[in-house]
Amino acid sequence: MKLHRTVVVLLAFAMPAGAHHEFQTFVQSHSGRPVNCALCHTSPDGPEGTGAGQIGSLTEGERERLNRARAAFEPSPVVDSPILNDFGNLLVARLGKRRILELRSKPELVAAELGFANDLDGDGIPDAQEYLDGTHPLSRHHGAPLRLFWHELRAHAFQVAMLFAATAITLYGLISVLRGFALRLQAHESGDAP
């Protein structure tokens, strides 16, 4: 077991810090939605390159943060890699880099191992569910439409109940008025009208 862990650690340092496309491939096939590297990385084009959020553009301080994050083989309280977004950093913090490397061959297990308690964008859909759905865990306007609808409905349950009550009262009043008119008309036609 120790030898296995040592091999994983050595491989991790030997590997370039590229995106792990196994996760992206799984999410796309599972959800049917297109997903790019921005699911976990700062740059939608992945960590390799010289653009914003990519390794070639990092300052000395950011490189130090990257090296600290790359050494997070076990779960840590906080991981702050400049090439990862908040969801990517959360994954490394919760699972540890060693486990993430292992999960490249079982990307379908990521959601269960991350757990469904976190909701980074506060849209009511857990990060792990957004991973499965192929929606962005850092955009509160991006989620499976039905899940967003139910969340909004629950969040505004009181206002919705008041709206229904007001509508019901208005309809009841309208029906009463119409019924009164109908009775008066009926009485008028029968000659009993005052």
Residues that bind Ca ion in the complex, under the rule CB under 5 A: 119, 121, 123, 125
Cβ(140)–Cβ(167) below 8 Å: no
Quote the crossing angle between the two packed helices 157-189 and 145-155, to the nearest 10°: 80
In the complex with Ca ion, the residue whose CB is nearer, 47 or 88, is 88
In the complex with Ca ion, the residue whose CB is nearer, 40 or 72, is 40
Helix runs in the chain, H state only: 2-14, 21-31, 60-70, 86-95, 97-103, 110-114, 127-133, 145-155, 157-189
Q: How far is the CB of 123 from Ca ion (least distance, A)?
A: 4
Burial (CB < 10 A; 0-12, 13-18, 19+), residue 94, is buried
Classified as helix, coil or strand, 6 is helix
Classified as helix, coil or strand, 84 is strand
In the complex with Ca ion, the residue whose CB is nearer, 38 or 55, is 38
Residue 192: which H helix or E strand, with range?
none
In the complex with Ca ion, the residue whose CB is nearer, 70 or 147, is 147
**Nearest residue to Ca ion on Cβ basis:** 125
In the complex with Ca ion, the residue whose CB is nearer, 99 or 136, is 136
